Chains A and B, each alone.
Chain A
């Protein structure tokens, strides 16, 4: 059981983590690999006070080193679901972690849901190959690859005996060459009561399961009752969300989507989580 789990390893999450460590709290940061962080793709960050001229990747590396030195623990992976129970329980892939408080700092999720996705979630649509894959052995499934690790998850499904087709807008890296790949962008999940097919740019791919693998699960899907405003998580000046014990910081709370703002909010969220833990 950690004092606090932080979802997201960007500037906001790491700033919150360092602040909590300064208050001697145990902290786990769950995030995608640093290379997938949008900051690491920024050519130059010139408005971060005192450290001009660094690339986004360099800045992120410094933040990470700082957090590591402060005793923050890290876990690479995607949070699939959470549950309030004696604090919070989180699924990272198929593993379970526990914490007394949560900080949401996973940036902005740009992906809108596909037609049919919400209606058939749990009836053939899944966000977690390692969770539900075994139920689809010997059955046709489609993996919708919208994250860097999606090819590995597709390979896993093929290994355990699913008949996998991989669909994504770009040629995937690391996909088992025996898995058929369909290049498509406009998708819809079809079926009455359970999944019957995925329509990919007009072509119908019959299947019983559709695994939709994005970089992150939308925070409103993770935390029941989480209020949003204009597509961003609603917070007050203490970075408290509408759910007790859950704080948010950084891009996920709204514009400007800037490093300085994220770092400042992270500090406030860390402080507020510390007070909550008292």
Chain B
């Protein structure tokens, strides 16, 4: 499953659907974000049907980024039923993401 690119409207719609969501706040001038991109792609594949994986470009959606207190990117927020369940800031190994996702999914 491809990573979704959210704007304010599609983000809120997806969050309102409930379930588990992983959102990567990023920007194209951010090197660490580019470094993390292949990991986010893999997570989208591996958690297909279980987690909605998407990205928010902080330049295009500054209000959304501010609403989630994004002060450093990459900034990855995990939502459960529309509420923040966990968050990872900065480049990290894939295992950190899968561990948090599995915990939120209740595995």
Chain A residues with CB under 8 Å of chain B are 80-85, 89, 91, 93-96, 121-124, 126, 128, 130-132, 134-135, 194-195, 208-209, 224
| Contact-size category for B | 20 to 34
B54-82 to A contact mask, C-beta < 8 Å, 1/0:
00001100000100011111010000000
Q: Closest approach, in angstroms, between the C-beta of B67 and any C-beta of chain A? A: 14
Given A81-B90, A81-B91, A85-B38, A91-B32 contact (CB < 8 Å) = yes
A91-B35, A96-B34, A96-B35 known; A132 and B72 CB under 8 Å?
A: yes
Chain B residues within an 8 Å CB radius of A89: 35, 91
| In contact, B72 and A81 (Cβ under 8 angstroms) | no
Residues of A within 8 A of B75 (CB): 122
Binds A, one of B2-10, B12-20, B23-31: B23-31
For B32, the chain A residues whose CB sits under 8 A away are: 80-81, 91, 128, 131
**Consensus secondary structure, chain A interface:** mixed
Asked if A209 meets B94 with Cβ closer than 8 Å, knowing A94-B29, A122-B89, the reply is no
Is there an interface contact between B91 and A91, defined as CB atoms closer than 8 Å? yes
Residues of chain A lying within 8 A (CB to CB) of residue B70: 135
A–B pairs, 12, beta carbons within 8 Å: A80-B31, A95-B31, A122-B72, A122-B89, A123-B71, A130-B31, A131-B30, A132-B30, A134-B27, A134-B58, A135-B72, A208-B71
Name the B residues within 8 Å of A95 (CB-CB): 31
- Do A135 and B93 have beta carbons less than 8 Å apart? no
Closest 3 pairs (CB-CB, A-B): A122-B89, A94-B31, A122-B72
CB neighbours of A122 from chain B (8 A): 71-72, 75, 89-90
User: Beyond A81-B91, A83-B92, is A135–B71 a contact (Cβ under 8 Å)?
Assistant: yes
Say yes or no for B39: interface residue by CB 8 A criterion.
Answer: yes
A224 to chain B: which residues have CB within 8 Å?
92-93
Q: Is B104 an interface residue (CB 8 A)?
A: no
Partner of A194, one of B30, B69, B91: B69
Specify the chain B residue showing the minimal Cβ separation from A224. B93
Q: Given A135-B58, A224-B92, are A91 and B73 also a contact pair (CB < 8 Å)?
A: no
Shortest beta-carbon distance, A108 to chain B, in Å?
Answer: 24
**B36 contacts A by Cβ under 8 Å:** yes
Instruction: Kindly state the separation between the CA atoms of A195 and B71 in the bound complex, as whole angstroms.
Output: 10
CA distance A123 to B73 in the complex (A): 10
Residues of B within 8 A of A91 (CB): 31-32, 35, 91
* Residues on the A chain within 8 Å of B71, using CB: 122-124, 132, 135, 194-195, 208-209
- Taking the closest CB of chain A, its distance from the CB of B1, in whole angstroms, is 20
- Chain A residues contacting B89 (CB-CB under 8 Å) are 121-123
Cβ-closest chain B residue relative to A93: B31
Q: With a 10 A CB-CB cut-off, give which of A126, A128, A134, A209 has the most chain B CB atoms.
A: A134
Q: Could you say which of B30, B38, B65 has the most chain A C-beta atoms within 10 Å of its C-beta? A: B30
Return A62 CB to nearest CB of chain B, in Å. Answer: 33
Instruction: Report the Cα distance A132→B71, complex, angstroms.
Output: 8
Q: Which A residues are CB-close (under 8 A) to B69? A: 123, 194
A128: B residues at CB distance < 8 A: 32
Which residues on the B side are within 8 Å of A124 (C-beta)? 71-72
Which residues on the B side are within 8 Å of A131 (C-beta)?
Answer: 30-32, 72-73
Q: Is the CB of B91 within 8 A of A135?
A: no
| Residues in A whose Cβ lies below 8 Å from that of B29 | 94, 130, 134
B88 to chain A, nearest CB (A): 9
Q: Would you call A126 and B72 a contact (CB within 8 A)?
A: yes
